[in-house]
Amino acid sequence: MKLSPHFLSLGLAMLSILLIFYYHGKYTEQLNKAVQLQSELLEQQNEIVNQQERIRLLSELDNQHTKELAHAKSEIDVLRNDVAAGHRRLRIAATCNQGKAGSSSGMDDAASPRLEDSAIRDYFTLTERVTTMQAQLEGLQDYIKTQCQ
């Protein structure tokens, strides 16, 4: 059985066409994968840019609140030092119970009432803690407003 050159060339042409379709399909498949991966890469890059912007905004917000807290604490320290040095006085509004109407007071010329040193320290400690708590609360509120939308 001898193959004629026509059948041989026809067989080679058909084999070539089949190979062309096969490799074209593989090329199209790989091209679609590349386009999909390029799209995913672009999405991830955009997400990274968004996260970096959020980090920058959070850093600015944190720096702002940290500066405000440091300023408030320094004001409290200045006030504490002034009270300790006697440049300022810590006054607390208070009322005293009146004695009986007919009784005379025992000390008309007494010095004005003064808090004990431990009460003054406690007052400044409490003031500092309230200031810290308030700054933390404001920071969390700003975080919620800017990041949890």
Residue 66 in any domain: the answer is yes
Per the model's pLDDT, the better-predicted residue between 31 and 61 turns out to be 31
Q: Encode pLDDT of 82-108 as tens digits.
A: 988 888 887 777 666 665 555 555 555
105 in a domain, yes or no? no
137 vs 115, residue with greater confidence:
137
**Could you tell me if residue 120 is inside a domain?**
yes
In a domain, 35, yes or no: yes
Task: Judge whether 136 and 62 are in contact, CB under 8 Å.
Answer: no
Cα angle, residue 57 at apex, residues 52 and 58 outer, rounded to 5°: 95
Q: Which position has the higher pLDDT, 94 or 45?
A: 45
* Average pLDDT over every residue of 20-49: 98
Inform me whether the pLDDT recorded for 45 exceeds 90: yes
103 within a domain of the structure (yes/no): no
Is residue 104 assigned to a domain? no
Q: Which domain holds residue 26?
A: 8-94+113-147
Q: How confident is the model at residue 117 (pLDDT cuts 50, 70, 90)?
A: confident
The Cα–Cα gap between 13 and 109 comes to 125
As a whole number of angstroms, the distance between CA 76 and CA 54 comes to 33
